Amino acid sequence: MTTPAERPSVLFVCIHNAGRSQMAAAFLTHLAGDRVEVRSAGSAPADTVNPAVVEAMAEVDIDISTEVPKVLTVEAVQASDVVITMGCGDTCPVFPGKRYLDWQLPDPAGQGVAAVRPIRDEIEMRIRGLLDEIAPAGQA
């Protein structure tokens, strides 16, 4: 059994915390259950999650309609083992000893659900690969 202190912690960061980082956090939470601690934040958070993103996630039976964009804090970065940036640029704080990944993904801002679907599917594929690496299914 994995204790909370042993669980890997992942932080997803994008500019608005309204699209890519919300989808990534939702997929990791959905697929990992309590094996991974998941956070998401934005360097300049929007007021609400992108409605096309909410709709695209609902199509795969993941409800993010109650999620709220959160501001990126130094504490969130310090508390995370893996920090995955998605186009937040130079505003992402960097700390020694953390693992950083930068996922280049199109920004779903202003896009309809048809344009969000391929971004969603790419994020799901990357999340599955990350999960296999940091918290394989046999590690519960």
Q: Which residues are catalytic?
A: 14, 88, 92
**C-beta of residue 5 within 8 angstroms of C-beta of residue 34:** no
The widest CA-to-CA distance across the chain, in whole angstroms, is 43
Query: In angstroms, rounded to a whole number, what is the distance separating the alpha carbons of residues 107 and 112?
Result: 11
Q: What is the DSSP string of 48-117?
A: S--HHHHHHHHTTT---TT----B--HHHHHT-SEEEESS-GGGS---TT-EEEE------TT--HHHHH
- DSSP H/E element including 27: helix 20-32
